[in-house]
Structure 1
Amino acid sequence: MSSDVEIRKLARVLGAPPERFAYLRDVPVADLRLLRDQVTSALFDAHLGALERMAGASKLLPSPLLAKLAEKVFGPLLSARIAGLVDVSRGVDIAKRLSPGFLADVAAELDPRRAAGIIAGMPAPVVVRVARELARRQDWITIARFVDTLPEATIVASLEVIPEGALPRVAEMLDDPARVHYIEDLKAR
């Protein structure tokens, strides 16, 4: 993986254009990945107490209402931050009620490591609809971030909605280059 790819991922986390970080091109890829992980942790942990209280309070409301609140009030960033703090079954129940477009927005803001249980528990048809939306947006970074978290059958189903020519772009964004062969093998099935 090139430093340019890691810089694009870091820029995504920070919500800034990749050009702003061009001065990092000579930094080793492993160091850029560590920086990205540290920045992600710092951003997700910045208001952890308040987010934990919100996640706790969410237990008091029915899932359909929380889904409406997520889309109309909380927005994708706050929803992504809270996702890793709610009970897995509850998180899945809420997420499957969200529109594919909103879920794609949340996925772009989400740290998959923090919501791995919810991601893995999502029904394949919901994930496929989100993958279709992300492919329409050409958001290869977000698609690649979920390869390590989704069940194999869900990845296979999602590959059907990702254009063949886009797979190299997705593969380029994978953190683990060995996963490229994994995706190629799944696609060949």
Structure 2
Amino acid sequence: MTPQEAEIRKLARVLGVGAERLGYLADVPVEDLRELRERATTVLFDAHLGVLERMAGASKLLPIPVLAKMAERVFGPLLAARIAGLVEPSRGAEIAGRLSPAFLADVAAELDPRRAHGIIAKLPAGVVVAVARELSRRRDWITIARFVDHLPDATIVTSLEFIPDAALPEVAALLDDPARITKVRDLLPPERLAALPDHLR
């Protein structure tokens, strides 16, 4: 997978379209594709920001168990992802801890990790690993790659156990920061390093 192909796949995810519809962008420099993706993310997440801020503020009045049920049954993953970055991190992490791994995986696919970094940092490792297992089952390597920059090493190590060797090159290609490839590689046990292509060792 070329860097352009990786960026197009990530942009397609943000826009909710198939990557094949963006094939005409194949000759655009990677830096420009990344900037386009980041701008699109900003526009989408800031749309209706006032309403989302009011919803996040109102959520402080509700007990966490009620909010967790509302998130899954009323809000849905897209709205939950939009609000996540506006909720106080400790409270957001506590809510997330009451959600099912399947729903959290849906939210993760819609989430901009940069906006919810505070919540992600406070999530118990067990919750993150359960979500990683679910995302791996779905073969959602885009979402897995987007969270590498926001997780502690110990959690990454445990999560890597659920990513098959054959998927590691794809995850590496989809990382936002190519320098993180070295980080992930250093966290792999020797027997898994041997399974990597030469350019990733």
Q: TM exceeds 0.5?
A: yes
Question: How far apart in 2 are the matches of 1:162 and 1:125?
Answer: 16
1:124-139 alignment, distance < 5 Å: 124-139=125-140
Runs of 5+ in structure 1 lacking a partner? none
Q: Deviations over 1:128-182 (max 9, x none)?
A: 1100000000000000000000111111111112112211111110011111111
Which residue matches 2:35? 34
Give the Cα separation in 2 of the matches to 1:47 and 1:187. 42
> Which amino acid in structure 1 is aligned with residue 89 of structure 2?
V
1:175 has 2:179 as partner:
no
Query: For residue 119 of structure 1, what is the aligned residue in structure 2?
Result: 120
Q: Which amino acid aligns with 1:169?
A: E
Cα distance in 1 between the residues matched to 2:32 and 2:4: 10
2:144 is aligned to 143
Where do residues 8-157 of structure 1 align in structure 2 (5 Å cutoff)? 8-157=9-158
Q: SS of the residue aligned with 1:98?
A: coil
User: TM-score, structure 1 length as denominator?
Assistant: 0.98
Distance 1:45 1:3 in 2: 26
Cα distance in structure 1, aligned partners of 2:95 and 2:29: 40
Q: What amino acid is aligned across from residue 37 of structure 2 in structure 1?
A: R
Q: Distance in 2 between matches of 1:166 and 1:26?
A: 26
Q: Over residues 2-41 of structure 1, what are the superposed CA-to-partner deviations in whole Å (9 max), with x where a residue is unaligned?
A: 2111111000000001111111111000000000000000
Runs (4 or more) in structure 1 with deviation over 3 Å come to none
Structure 2 gap segments, 5+ residues each: 191-201
Secondary structure of the corresponding residue to residue 27 of structure 2: coil
Question: Structure 1 counterpart of 2:151, which letter?
Answer: L
Instruction: Give the SS at the match of 1:148.
Output: helix
Structure whose CA Rg is larger: 2
Q: Identity, % of aligned pairs?
A: 71
Cα offset, 1:188, TM superposition: 2.4
Which deviates the most, 92-101 or 153-162?
153-162
Letter in 2 for 1:132: R
For these two proteins, the number of residue pairs brought into alignment is 189
Distance 2:122 2:51 in 1: 26
CA distance in 1, matches of 2:161, 2:4: 30
Paired letter, 1:9: K
